[in-house]
């Protein structure tokens, strides 16, 4: 489900999450131009836009999930894109933003996120972010864009 959109990227709730909502949640940031397969293909402006966006999404996610009663204490960022090959698809640039809650059950912190193949059933009962989480994260990102720290001029955009 769409959370936020910039010139080159889409921020969305991962509807088949690697981290269930109650364990911290999962957001994906994906490039609009799916011909860009990884970060080495970004131009400098796109790289800066992506870095700023990952920071903002992580900050917004941690703030909101804590307000929602999910005690997120760490955000993990992962750039992978391997599983597309299992389906014969071309991978495109995307980042996983993973909330890590101190009381997580299936993806306990401080362990690394466990990522078995989807066919194992490990993720079957994982819940994506809900509509309220998504709305609040979007609002938080909008607030962050107004802060001096995230102004275009400070990021040379």
111 inside domain: no
Phi, psi of 106 (to 5 degrees): -90, -25
116 inside domain: no
97 inside domain: yes
Compute the average pLDDT of residues 129-151.
98
Return the pLDDT at 25: 98
* Domain, as residue range, for 80: 2-105+126-155
Lowest mean pLDDT segment, chosen from 39-43, 77-81, 102-106: 77-81
86 inside domain: yes
Q: What is the mean pLDDT of the chain?
A: 95
142 inside domain: yes
For 8-50, the three-class secondary structure string (H helix, E strand, C coil) is: CEEEEECCCCCCCHHHCCEEEEEECCCCCCCHHHCCHHHHHHH
Q: Are strands 72-79 and 94-101 parallel, antiparallel or unpaired?
A: antiparallel
Spatial neighbors of 123 by CB under 8 A, at least 6 apart, are 16, 17, 18
Return the pLDDT at 108: 97
Q: What is the CATH number of the domain that holds 31?
A: 3.30.428.10
Number of domains in the chain: 1
- For 60-83, what is each residue's pLDDT tens digit? 999 999 999 999 999 999 998 777
112 inside domain: no
**In the structure, what pLDDT confidence band is assigned to residue 157 with cuts at 50, 70 and 90?**
confident
CA distance linking residue 1 with residue 50, whole number of Å: 19
75 inside domain: yes
134 inside domain: yes
Q: Indicate if the pLDDT at residue 131 is higher than 90.
A: yes
Return the pLDDT at 35: 93
């Amino acid at each position: 489900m769409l959370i936020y959109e910039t010139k080159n990227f889409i921020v969305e709730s991962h509807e088949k999450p690697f981290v269930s909502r109650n364990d911290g949640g999962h957001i994906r940031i994906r490039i609009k131009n799916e011909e860009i397969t990884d970060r080495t293909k970004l131009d400098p402006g796109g790289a800066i836009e992506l870095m700023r966006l990952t920071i903002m999404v992580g900050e917004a996610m941690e703030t909101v999930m804590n307000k929602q009663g999910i005690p997120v204490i760490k955000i993990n960022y992962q750039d992978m894109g391997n599983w597309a090959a299992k389906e014969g698809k071309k991978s495109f640039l995307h980042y996983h933003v993973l909330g890590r809650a101190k009381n997580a059950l299936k993806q306990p912190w401080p362990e690394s996120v466990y990522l078995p193949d989807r066919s194992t059933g490990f993720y079957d009962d994982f819940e994506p972010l809900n509509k309220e989480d998504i709305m609040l994260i979007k609002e938080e990102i909008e607030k962050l864009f107004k802060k001096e720290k995230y102004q275009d001029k400070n990021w040379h955009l």
